[in-house]
Amino acid sequence: MTTTVSAAAMATDPSAGGAGAGRGAAGRSVARSVLPPVVLGVAFLLVWQLAVVAFDIKPYLLPSPTDIVGQIVIVFPLLWSSLLATGLNALIGLVLGGVLAVVLALLASRVTIFDRMIVPIVAAVAVVPIVALAPILNTMFGSTSDTPRRVVVLIVVFAPIFINTLRGLRQVRPVHRDLMRAYAASNWQLTRTVTLPGAVPFIFTGLRIAAPLGVISAIVAEYFGGLQNGLGSRITSAAANSAYPRAWAYVFGAIILGLVFYGVTLLLERLASRRRA
Amino acid sequence: MTDTARTTTPAPSEVLPAISVRAAGKIFTVAKGAEVQALTGIDLTVAPGEFVSLIGPSGCGKSTLLRLIADLDSATSGEILVFGKTARQARLDQEYGIAFQSAGLLPWRSVQANIELPLELHGVGKAERAARAEELIELVGLTDFRSRFPDQLSGGMQQRVAIARSLAERPKLLLMDEPFGALDEMTRERMQQELVRICSETGAAVVFVTHSIPEAVFLSDRVVVMSPRPGRIVDIVSVDLGAGTSRSDSLRENPAFFAGVTAVREALHGSPVAPLGADLR
Ligand SMILES: Nc1ncnc2c1ncn2[C@@H]1O[C@H](COP(=O)(O)OP(=O)(O)OP(=O)(O)O)[C@@H](O)[C@H]1O
Ligand SMILES: [Mg+2]
């Protein structure tokens, strides 16, 4: 995985060839990776629109794309503020959960007893159903706070990041271990110069899995009462009022939010691997 | 030819030896309590500035012996002193530099940062580190590659970086485990030449593990021939080809070189062998 990425980075390294040529190639490769999904998406929307019109499908079953776009325009200010509210919950939960996961994985990789203690706990955390957790947290933290939602996100993103990071931390090559021992390096020096940098690609793999999950759980957590400020609350209230195109407009917002989170983690991963090679 | 004292080597009483191994043995305990006798009764003294190669069939304990000297493993019996200290103390005092068969570079560090690694770990300041790395990069001929990353280098270049790294702290002892094992014959001969030059310039003692007889003879003052099950030293062949600086490619055509190769082969095979055997490696 690392090799492919760094090979790509090499290919576009401005010092390797002409800077202009490199940028042109990068532009072309972006076009090649962006164009097919866009074409597919447009075709899909067309078929959807035609089907709704042709078969006279009722809006409560499936509204047409043009209806949804109309609703997006109408509710845009509210859509935007809900998107920000849910996005902030997801972001805070993701960052806190990520930091906690990396720190605990570091501990588990260093302290055997701690490793034995935490692995079953992580397995348990990984299967906690948000549906059960969200109402309980609402009661715990009070339903006028965003905290329960952030905690839900934290719990959901923790396991994938922890498991991947720990796997990365255990990948230290014996030759590197020998080398650091020969240098009489301390445990902390080993972690800082070898173990942690080696685990970076694994941390990003975990993050890439966790980011969309975090957005989904931030939305789902809003289904169980509490503040009415996010995408999840808007979707449920629109659906409860039989305003189906409006509900779909908020679903569209949720998709955008998920894609933004995924895209940003992908971008960060690219940046991190470009720094290496 | 066998075990004749080198005229240039001072008597052990005059100078503290770089390495002194006395009756060392190593037993590995493997799964289900089974034991592997990797080394037994090893006696070896390496003088300061001396180049000693370890050669022998696979599994005879060459790497194990090197790891004992480096204190990467500990001996189960006997005594190992490095510059008069225990192997452990010598490691803690950073008395040796080491290079392995795989270069073992950190892929997320540039050539320069890889060479600076030991200096960085031991608290050498940034400017001094950069200056030392510069010298070493020049020494191993990688001036144009200092900011490249390991996966942008050929295997031979990576190995040169690893050698530069092992020299970073000007060790008086170098431990090398088949550092040229993965290289093609041409690169290998060039690297051998560079190593001989570097060592005679720095005056470091070297313990060099190899599978190649010509390589051992070309590089060494003495070639230690080992045999497996249990791993032990069967013979020590002295090679008298002159000081490192005078060793050049033409030496490989020299009768003394061939005599050395033959002597090591005979020691390895345990009996005289036909001088024109096809396999010189
Ligand atoms: N960590 C270990 N655990 C158990 N046995 C080991 C270990 N390391 C080495 N051995 C055994 O010790 C013996 C010597 O191994 P060693 O690696 O020193 O051989 P070598 O001479 O370096 O071989 P090669 O030329 O193939 O590198 C072998 O029989 C090997 O199986
Ligand atoms: Mg070996």
Any chain A CB within 8 A of the CB of B257? Answer: no
Domain membership flag for residue A12: no
DSSP H/E element including A240: helix A231-240
Q: If we measure between CA atoms, which residue out of A85, A64, A196 comes closest to residue B108?
A: A196
What pLDDT score was predicted for residue B276? 47
DSSP 3-state of A61:
coil
Give the pTM: 0.76
pLDDT of residue B71: 92
A61-65, A161-165, A204-208, range with the lowest pLDDT = A61-65
Q: Classify residue A222 by its DSSP letter.
A: G
Q: Looking at the complex, report in whole angstroms how far the Cα of residue A93 sits from the nearest Cα belonging to chain B.
A: 29
CA distance A241 to chain B (A): 56
Ligand nearest B65 Cα, by number? 1
Nearest chain B residue to A196 by CA distance is B108
Cβ(A82)–Cβ(A229) under 8 Å?
yes
What are the residue boundaries of the structural domains of chain B, listed by start?
Answer: 6-95+172-269, 106-170
Residue B237 CA: distances (Å) to CA of B17, B228, B267, B279: 19, 18, 8, 19
A29 within some domain: no
User: Which residues of chain A does B71 touch, with a Cβ-Cβ cutoff of 8 Å?
Assistant: 181
Place of tokens 């090979």: A7
Is B115 a pocket residue for ligand 1 (Cβ < 6 Å)? Answer: no
Does the distance separating the beta carbons of A179 and B107 come in below 8 Å?
Answer: no
> Does A8 map to a domain?
no
Q: d(Cα B103, Cα B175) in Å, to the nearest integer?
A: 13
Distance CA B247, CA B221 (A): 12
The C-alpha atoms of residue A75 and residue A30 are separated, in whole angstroms, by 32
Please name the amino acid found at residue B23: A
Residues spanned by the domain of A182:
72-274
Give yes or no for A177 touching B (CB within 8 A): no
With an 8 Å Cβ cutoff, is A192 touching chain B?
no
Give A138-160 as a DSSP string. HHHH-TT-SHHHHHHHHHHHHHH
Which pair of tokens denotes residue B99?
């290079």
Domain count, chain A: 1
In this structure, are residues A91 and A149 in contact, taking their beta carbons and an 8 Å threshold?
A: no
Single-letter amino acid, residue B109: R
Nearest CA to ligand 1 atom 17: B63
- Give the β-pairing of B51-55 and B222-227: parallel
Is A196's pLDDT higher than 50?
yes
**pLDDT band of A145, cuts 50, 70, 90:** confident
User: Residue B60 Cα, ligand 1 centroid: separation in angstroms?
Assistant: 7
Q: What residues have CB less than 8 Å from A86, skipping those under 6 apart? A: A215, A218, A219, A222, A230, A231, A232, A254, A257
For chain A, give the mean pLDDT: 83
| Ligand 1 atom at shortest distance from the alpha carbon of B178 | 27
Could you write out the three-class secondary structure of chain B? CECCCCCCCCCCCCCCCCEEEEEEEEEEECHHHCEEEEEEEEEEEECCCCEEEEECCCCCCHHHHHHHHCCCCCCCEEEEEECCEEHHHHHHCCCEEEECCCCCCCCCCCHHHHHHHHHHHCCCCHHHHHHHHHHHHHHCCCHHHCCCCHHHCCHHHHHHHHHHHHHCCCCCEEEEECCCCCCCHHHHHHHHHHHHHHHHHHCCEEEEECCCHHHHHHHCCEEEEEECCCCEEEEEEECCCCCHHHCCHHHHHCHHHHHHHHHHHHHHHCCCCCCCCCCCC
Cβ-defined contact of A277 to B151 (cutoff 8 Å): yes
Question: Which of B27, B29, B58, B63 is the best mutation target for the ligand 1 pocket, counting ligand atoms within 8 Å of the beta carbon and taking the most?
Answer: B63
A276 vs B72, B91, B149: nearest CB: B149
Q: What is the CATH number of the domain that holds A266?
A: 1.10.3720.10
Residues of B in contact with A175 (CB under 8 A): 100, 102, 104
Question: What's residue B281's pLDDT?
Answer: 47
Nearest to B52 by CA among B231, B205, B274: B205
User: Residue A7 domain-assigned?
Assistant: no
pLDDT (tens digit, 9 = 90+) per residue, B202-242?
888 999 999 888 888 888 889 899 988 888 888 888 887 76
Residue A39 lies inside a defined structural domain of this protein = no
Q: Which helix (H) or strand (E) holds A238?
A: helix A231-240
Task: Please say if the pLDDT value at position A8 is more than 50.
Answer: no
State whether B151 and A6 contact (CB < 8 Å): yes
Nearest listed ligand to the Cα of residue B38: 1
Q: Does B121 touch chain A (CB under 8 A)?
A: yes
DSSP notation for A75-136: HHHHHHHHHHHHHHHHHHHHHHHHHHHHHHHHHHHH-HHHHHHHHHHHHHHHT--HHHHHHH
Cβ pair A184:B104 closer than 8 A: no
Across the interface, do A200 and B108 touch by the CB < 8 Å criterion? yes
Partner residue facing A197 (CB), from B67, B92, B108: B108
CB pair distance less than 8 Å for B72 and A181: yes
> Tens-digit pLDDT profile for chain B (281 aa)?
444 444 444 444 567 888 888 988 888 888 887 888 888 888 999 988 899 999 988 889 899 999 999 999 988 898 999 888 898 988 888 889 999 988 899 999 999 999 999 999 998 888 989 999 998 898 878 888 988 899 888 888 898 899 889 988 888 899 999 988 877 788 788 888 888 888 888 888 999 999 888 888 888 889 899 988 888 888 888 887 766 556 676 777 777 778 788 888 888 887 655 544 444 44
Q: What is the pLDDT of residues B16-50, one digit of tens each?
A: 888 888 988 888 888 887 888 888 888 999 988 89
- Residue B138: its pLDDT value, please? 86
The verdict on a CB contact (< 8 Å) between B151 and A3 is: yes
Residue with tokens 């005599």: B259
**Count of C-beta atoms within a 10 Å radius of residue A143:** 13
Distance of alpha carbon A209 from alpha carbon B193, whole angstroms: 51
**C-beta B59 within 6 A of ligand 1:** yes
What is the CATH code of the structural domain delimited by B6-95+172-269? 3.40.50.300
Q: Does B66 touch chain A (CB under 8 A)?
A: no
User: Do the domain assignments include residue A109?
Assistant: yes
- Residues of B within 8 A of A181 (CB-CB) are 71-72, 91
Q: What is the pLDDT of residues A202-227, one digit of tens each?
A: 999 999 999 999 999 999 888 887 78
Task: Select from B94, B149, B151 the Cβ nearest to the Cβ of A184.
Answer: B94
pLDDT of residue B37: 86
Q: Using an 8 Å Cβ cutoff, are B2 and B267 in contact?
A: yes
